Amino acid sequence: MAVYRVTFNHQTEPVVVKSGTLITEAARLAGIEINQPCGGQGRCGRCVVQVTDGKVRQRSALRLSAEDIQMGYCLACQSVIEGDISVVVPEQEKIERRLVTDRTAIEVQPIPGYAPEYQQTLKRYFLEFSPPDYEDQTDDLSRLQKHLRTDLGFEEVEIPISLLKKISSVLREGNWQVTVYLDVLSTNDGNPTARMVDLLPNRCDEDSPMWGAAIDIGTTTVTLWLVDLWTGIVHAQVAEYNAQIRRGEDVISRIIYADKEGGLQELQELVVGTINQLIEIACKRVKHHRVSPQDILKLTVAGNTTMMHLFLGIPPSYIRLAPFVPTFNQAPLIRAKDVGLIANPHAVVDCLPGVASYVGADITAGVLSAGVDSTDQLTLFLDVGTNGEMVLGSKEWLVTCACSAGPAFEGAGVRDGMRATTGAIEEVWIHSETYEPTYRVIGGGKPRGICGSGLISLLAEMFMTGVVDKAGNLNTSLSTPRIREGEHGMEYVVAWKDETEHGRDIVITRVDIDNLLRAKAAIYAGFLVLAQSVGVPLEETEQVLIGGSFGKYLNVEKSIQIGLLPDLPWEKFNFLGNTAVKGAYFALLSQEYRTRIHEIASKMTYIELSADNTFYEAFMAAMFLPHTDLSRFPTVLAALQDSNIQFQTN
């Protein structure tokens, strides 16, 4: 087979690859990072590189003009190497560090009346032995097992071989006095299963902390809370972008990437790397205690079903193929070392249970921490992130569905969309007569783009001021230079180039508006299908609980104006922040809560929208601002009628 030489960025040493290799693969060999937000499908256009010498075969050149192609530009993920080439890779977009402390930390109280002796599965015991002699040459393991049986009542304790390695030295170092940590789970048949987590020499102070971590693996952000399991106090809250982002921005892109050779292992290593990084940061943040990663003895993990598969290194391929069946919803317990976590290698890792391919453990954990499964009130719970998952119900019943809202609210699929970091426009107001906008930028500097909450705000303002009509068409009859014909059709200029950081106009285009309409329509249609499935009018919802860090910045008024949220009194809406990590925290503390999350997972009825005709109808009806059926949005209708805008009800 022919091999070719590929020179990147004028480096002196070319890499040698087989004929047929993709430029992205060659770049990885050369140690050069090329972002692939769509997972290498050739859809996002972010992996554009320039071939300055030689030629490649392009399988797809989506998003490239004939002129681009003429100049040697190509998509690295779609370009097959069939000869010696030289490639220039433009500087890659940096994924900036999230403003963790002020944007994701939430106040949290331990479970009221938390009693670790009863609720905590991680147990700490002190054992004292008589040392062996010629009269009693019992081996160390049997000696330990005997005490676990007679002193503590555990007939059988699972002891991993890797822990067996240190038993003999610990027994002697502690002069036959040891502290043993067991993770004890009650089971249905009444026989608890006990797993040894650690064995340390000597008696340990009874009130000293026992460290645990609650983790939410988000598609975009991974959040970790470091907790003293003895007091229940959260000592550190940290979050970081999921390092998998470079290999795809949404779950579908990640699944596609995982299907490539080596992709699954790479994605697993990336997310485990992110968690390990968070563990290190969290340990350093703890005040008044010196905590090392090895001190973490128990972890609970929430996350959507794809994230769980990737975390455990299990191929997620079938999640995206009809009939959308995951390999598992409930993973077996594992030990930290099984996946490469830097916690204590024998720490038990409890992956929380999910419901379906698109309703994962982040949702069951959210339902738990939001208390949806214990309330009398008819509750709508939603987590608007990369996907839109929602739950309707109360302590009597729970129905759930997921709508592929697309990543528009995360800033993707929108020309000037971006994540909610420094430089993002997060709120917009439009003057109803001049159509001039004012906006607020995260961090206070010049804007670079518009984040999800900014897009909702912008769309609502455009609609309420008549800049767009109910179908999302820009009103070209208005006398403002901000509405103009752009490269890809009509657009509205939010910021002129002299106001922006990068010196280019920030605009919202007709195409962007369509993407946003589809996203909000999918979510609203989901609400309606859930309500219809149980025969309850959506308007009877008694409370709306919104989880997810994005949800925290959702402006209810504007969200109702565009028809993203149902038109209910504002006081019925409650923003809860990251409900998934909070649910993981509850399950980390208390076996009762852990049992509850399993009950939630098994009692929740999942509705598959792609198999549901009513969804399509509801979706089409919601593709307008705020909705075809205006009677569903009485406050919006009233506001429009109050304003001077010409408004057609048909």
Sign, CA dihedral 234-240-244-250, equals positive
Q: Among residues 237 and 304, whose Cβ is nearest to its own copies?
A: 304
In angstroms, what CA-CA distances link 648 with 225, 470, 558?
51, 9, 20
- Smallest distance from its own copies to CB 141, Å: 4
Where do contacts with its own copies occur on this chain (CB under 8 A)? 132-134, 137-142, 158-161, 164-165, 167-169, 172, 312-315, 317-318, 322-332, 334, 338, 356-357, 606, 608, 610-611
Task: For residue 348, give every residue at least 6 positions away whose Cβ sits within 8 Å of its Cβ, in sequence order, or none.
Answer: 122, 183, 195, 197, 297, 298, 299, 333, 334, 335
Query: Closest separation between CB of residue 329 and its own copies, Å?
Result: 5
501/612 with CB nearer its own copies? 612
Nearest-approach distance from CB 391 to its own copies, in angstroms: 17
Distant-in-sequence, close-in-space partners of 567: CB < 8 Å, separation ≥ 6 = 560, 626, 632, 633, 634, 635, 636
In the complex, least distance from residue 274 CB atom to its own copies, rounded to whole angstroms = 20
Residue number with CB closer to its own copies (133 or 487): 133
Q: Which is nearer to its own copies, 167 or 347 (CB)?
A: 167
Distance CA 619, CA 528 (A): 9
Pick between residue 336 and residue 468 the one whose CB is nearest to its own copies.
336
For the bound state, the minimum distance from the C-beta of residue 36 to its own copies, rounded and expressed in Å, comes to: 24
Min dist. Cβ of residue 344 to its own copies (A): 18
Query: Which of residues 83 and 132 has its CB atom nearest to its own copies in the complex?
Result: 132
Question: By the 8 A CB rule, do 87 and 51 touch?
Answer: yes
Reduced to 3 states (helix: H, G, I; strand: E, B; else coil), residue 630 is helix
Residue 143 φ/ψ, nearest 5 degrees: -60, -45
**Shortest Å distance, C-beta 317 to its own copies:** 7
Q: How far is the CB of 318 from its own copies (least distance, A)?
A: 5
Q: How far is the CB of 491 from its own copies (least distance, A)?
A: 40
Q: Which of 193, 198, 182 is nearest to 337 (CA)?
A: 198
Cβ closest to its own copies, residue 2 vs residue 325: 325
Please count the CA atoms within 13 angstroms of the CA of 30 that sit on its side-chain side: 26
Question: Reading across the β-sheet that carries 388-393, which strands appear in turn?
Answer: 573-577, 543-547, 379-384, 388-393, 398-403, 605-606
Query: CB 332 → its own copies: shortest distance, Å?
Result: 6
CB closer to its own copies, 158 vs 501: 158
Closest-CA residue to 549 (of 253, 311, 302, 220): 220
State in angstroms the smallest separation of the CB of 89 from its own copies. 33
Strands (E), 167-270: 177-185, 193-201, 211-217, 221-228, 234-241
* String of DSSP letters for 397-428: -EEEEEE---GGGGTTTSTTB--SSTTEEEEE
**DSSP-based three-state secondary structure for 629:** coil
Rounded to the nearest whole angstrom, what is the least distance from the CB of residue 601 to its own copies in the complex? 11
Q: Which of 285, 239, 301, 297 is nearest to 106 (CA)?
A: 239
Give buried/exposed letters for 96-105 (b at 16+ CB in 10 A, else e): eebebeebbb
Nearer to its own copies, 65 or 169 (CB): 169
**What residue ranges in 294-448 does DSSP mark as E strands?**
296-303, 334-335, 348-351, 379-384, 388-393, 398-403, 424-430, 437-441
Per the DSSP assignment, residues forming a β-bridge with 349 are 299, 334
Q: Is 526:615 a contact under the CB 8 Å cutoff?
A: yes
* DSSP 3-state of 293: helix
Q: CB of residue 354 vs its own copies: minimum separation in angstroms? A: 8
- Of the chain, the end-to-end C-alpha distance in Å amounts to 65
Query: How far apart (Å, rounded) are the C-alpha atoms in residues 426 and 15?
Result: 44
Taking the complex as a whole, how short is the minimal distance between the CB of residue 534 and its own copies, in angstroms?
A: 18
The residue among 575 and 606 lying less far from its own copies, judged by its C-beta, is: 606
Dihedral of CA atoms 496, 501, 506, 511 in degrees, nearest 10, equals 160
Written as six digits, the tokens of 535 are 């025969």
Nearer to its own copies, 339 or 428 (CB): 339
Residues 6+ apart with CB under 8 A from 226: 211, 212, 213, 234, 235, 236, 237, 238, 279, 282, 283, 285, 286, 291, 296
Residue 341 dihedral angles phi and psi, to the nearest 5°? -70, 145
Largest Cα span, the chain? 102
Nearer to its own copies, 1 or 161 (CB): 161
Query: CB of 633: closest distance to its own copies in angstroms?
Result: 32
Nearest residue (CB) to its own copies, 329 versus 578? 329
| CA angle at 243 for the pair 27 and 268, rounded to the nearest 5° | 85
Measured from the CB atom, the residue of 114 and 606 that comes closer to its own copies is 606
Q: In terms of residues, how long is the chain?
A: 650
Residue closer to its own copies, measured from CB, 80 or 164: 164
